[in-house]
């Protein structure tokens, strides 16, 4: 009996050592995407770009749960416009284990030169993951779960005023049509496909949030408990609408209502892998048990 009590005490102690990182007031539902033909869209014609031209500091972040990864030659799009997140089958930039997927983050930037900066990192399959691009003082910071990676590009210092890509609307979960990259012989090199999983929240900000590394490299990182709206929030979708809704309110008050297409709707059910003990899964359990 003493042994059992001691074991319980140790478990409770370990739980409390981890829990404070994710002790927050949980949000509501999630955006559910089947990976087939559904997506959400914000029209460029109606709303313009989410990040204003000549913005030097910004943050784009998301909590997401991938239920599957891309097939060979595919990229599963999570969100895209000036900043893009997605899962890729080109895993050369990732050191994966059997439960991980390769995820990329890219940003359209300009300054002395224009270009797209992209980095690949490892994320967990069938678990909740946090991603953020945080740009400040010419440094590209890519946060993924409990780590943050920084690299610097002295020739770019602000977000691009216009993205150079075919699809310029803001999309979540995929495009409204298939996009291919084709070589001169007519062979498909890669295909952008839709994301299969759930998204809990997306926030765009006009500042560089959080404590950032002082120099290039990888450091530890504490992901935010929950996204709140403040004076620096450009757009925020928490997907807290009633189950089955396909119009997703912008909690920033800026009127950026996302429209779900082809069955992209909200659900009250959060996917959590019960066998996992990772900090991101504990975060998901807190949200699930609070309902």
Count of structural domains within the chain: 1
- For the entire predicted model, the pTM comes to 0.84
Mean pLDDT of the chain: 85
Model pLDDT for residues 229-250, shown as the tens digit of each residue: 999 999 999 999 999 999 999 9
Distance CA 44, CA 48 (A): 4
Q: What is the model's pLDDT at position 6?
A: 44
Q: Name the strand (E) or helix (H) holding 120.
A: strand 114-124
pLDDT-flagged residues of the chain (< 70): 1-27, 269-291
Contacts of 150 (CB under 8 A, 6+ apart): 139, 140, 141, 142, 212, 213, 215, 216, 217, 218, 219
pLDDT, residue 278, reads 53
> Are 39 and 33 within 8 A, CB to CB?
yes
pLDDT tens per residue across span 109-164: 999 999 999 999 999 999 899 999 999 999 999 999 999 999 998 899 999 999 98
CA distance 161 to 81: 11
Q: What CATH number is attached to the domain comprising 83?
A: 2.60.120.200
pLDDT confidence of residue 22: 32
CB neighbour class for 220 (10 Å; exposed up to 12, middle 13-18, buried from 19): exposed
Residue-number span of the structural domain to which 171 is assigned: 2-289
């Amino acid at each position: 009996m003493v042994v059992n009590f001691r074991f319980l005490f140790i478990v409770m102690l370990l739980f409390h050592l981890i829990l404070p990182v994710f002790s927050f007031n949980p949000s509501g539902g999630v955006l559910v995407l089947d990976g087939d033909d559904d997506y959400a869209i914000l029209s460029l014609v109606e709303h313009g770009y989410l990040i204003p031209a000549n913005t030097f500091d910004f943050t784009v972040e998301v909590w997401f749960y991938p239920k599957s990864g891309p097939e060979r030659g595919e990229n599963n799009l999570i969100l895209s416009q000036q900043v893009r997140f997605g899962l890729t089958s080109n895993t050369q930039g990732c050191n994966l284990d059997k439960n991980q997927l390769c995820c990329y983050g890219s940003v359209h930037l300009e300054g002395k030169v224009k270009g797209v900066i992209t980095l690949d990192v490892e994320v967990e399959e069938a678990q909740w993951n946090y991603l953020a691009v945080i740009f400040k003082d010419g440094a590209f910071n890519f946060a993924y779960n409990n780590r943050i990676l920084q690299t610097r590009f002295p020739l770019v210092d602000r977000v691009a005023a216009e993205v150079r890509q075919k699809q310029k609307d803001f999309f979540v979960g995929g495009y409204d049509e298939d996009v291919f990259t084709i070589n001169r012989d007519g062979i498909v090199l890669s295909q952008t496909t839709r994301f299969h999983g759930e998204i809990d929240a997306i926030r765009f900000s006009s500042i560089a949030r959080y404590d950032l590394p002082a120099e290039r490299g990888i450091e530890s990182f504490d992901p935010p408990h929950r996204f709140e709206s403040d004076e620096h929030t450009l757009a925020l979708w928490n997907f807290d609408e009633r189950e089955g809704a396909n119009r997703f309110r912008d909690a920033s008050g800026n009127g950026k209502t996302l429209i779900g297409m082809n069955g992209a709707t909200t659900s009250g059910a959060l996917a959590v892998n019960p066998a996992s003990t990772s900090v991101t899964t504990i975060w998901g359990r807190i949200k699930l048990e609070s309902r």
